[in-house]
């Protein structure tokens, strides 16, 4: 059969462009890592198997193993994907136009919303599991250190008014993180109350003090 024959497939029909194949592969890998994160939230880390991840991704286990040869490989990719998603979500939240021009409140609100999202639940599940799982700890620890560096830089980028405040800025970030993450963890077992609202208001006030800003009167209640 000659190349000019009507029955002979052209190059595009014989094999898709490499770029398309690469895009499809990347899309499938993302699909798998997203499924893994959902499994961490729904089933917990210890119960998350490659079979469950494949089912959640809508793939056969063989198809999933083609992209990730082991459970640990999926976990490694999922941790990296989770941290990237958390950073993007934080940047998006703090760069939205503020309704009242108060960047301090906006920053606290952004991280407070962030730690109540399933993404943080997935991270917390991994952090707890890593305490007794050396393989997971070897993946999570350096990834979390990188996340914290990038999160700090993201805060520097979106809150330029804090530049030059050095230790006070670091203290404001640490205070916000430890208080809000601790509250989010406590919410796994109890509902938000007026006492929690008072803690959030107090945190707001302390951050404003560190920033050298006046106290806000009649601050709107958080939702």
Domain boundaries, given as residue ranges, for the chain:
78-211
pLDDT at 14 over 60: no
Most confident of 6-10, 106-110, 181-185, 196-200: 181-185
- pTM for the full predicted model: 0.78
Give every CB contact of residue 109 below 8 A, 6+ residues apart in sequence.
93, 222
Mean pLDDT value of segment 146-160: 83
- What is the spatial distance between Cα 151 and Cα 157, in angstroms, rounded to a whole number? 10
Closest by Cα among 167, 170, 166, 200 to 183 = 200
- What is the spatial distance between Cα 64 and Cα 72, in angstroms, rounded to a whole number? 13
Give the pLDDT score at 221.
52
Percent of the chain's residues with pLDDT above 70: 86
Residue 142: burial class (beta carbons within 10 Å; 0-12, 13-18, 19+): exposed
Fold for 78-211, please state it: Tetracycline Repressor; domain 2 (1.10.357)
Residue 70 pLDDT class (50, 70, 90 cuts)? very high
Give the pLDDT score at 97.
59
pLDDT at 127 over 90: yes
Mean pLDDT value of segment 124-132: 95
Q: Six-digit token pair at 173?
A: 């970030």
- What is the spatial distance between Cα 128 and Cα 46, in angstroms, rounded to a whole number? 11
Handedness of CA 55, 61, 67, 70 (dihedral sign): positive
Residue with tokens 């703090």: 94
pLDDT at 18 over 70: no
């Amino acid at each position: 059969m000659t190349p000019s024959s009507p029955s002979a497939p052209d190059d595009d029909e014989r094999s898709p462009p490499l770029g398309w194949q690469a895009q499809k592969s990347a899309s499938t890998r993302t699909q798998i890592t997203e499924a893994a994160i959902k499994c961490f939230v729904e089933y917990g880390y210890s119960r998350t198997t490659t079979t469950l991840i494949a089912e959640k991704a809508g793939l056969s286990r063989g198809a999933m193993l083609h992209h990730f040869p082991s459970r640990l490989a999926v976990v490694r990719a999922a941790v990296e994907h989770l941290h990237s998603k958390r950073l993007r979500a934080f940047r998006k939240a703090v760069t939205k136009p503020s309704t009242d021009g108060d960047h301090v409140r906006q920053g606290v609100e952004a991280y407070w919303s962030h730690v109540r999202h399933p993404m943080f639940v997935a991270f917390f599940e991994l952090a707890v599991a890593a305490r007794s799982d050396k393989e997971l700890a070897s993946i999570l620890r350096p990834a979390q250190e990188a996340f914290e560096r990038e999160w700090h830089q993201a805060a520097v980028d979106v809150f330029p008014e804090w530049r030059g405040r050095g230790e006070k800025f670091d203290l404001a970030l640490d205070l916000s993180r430890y208080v809000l993450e601790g509250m989010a963890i406590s919410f796994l077992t109890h509902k938000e109350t007026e006492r929690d609202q008072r803690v959030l208001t107090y945190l707001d006030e302390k951050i404003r003090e560190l920033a050298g800003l006046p106290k806000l009167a009649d601050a709107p209640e958080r939702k």
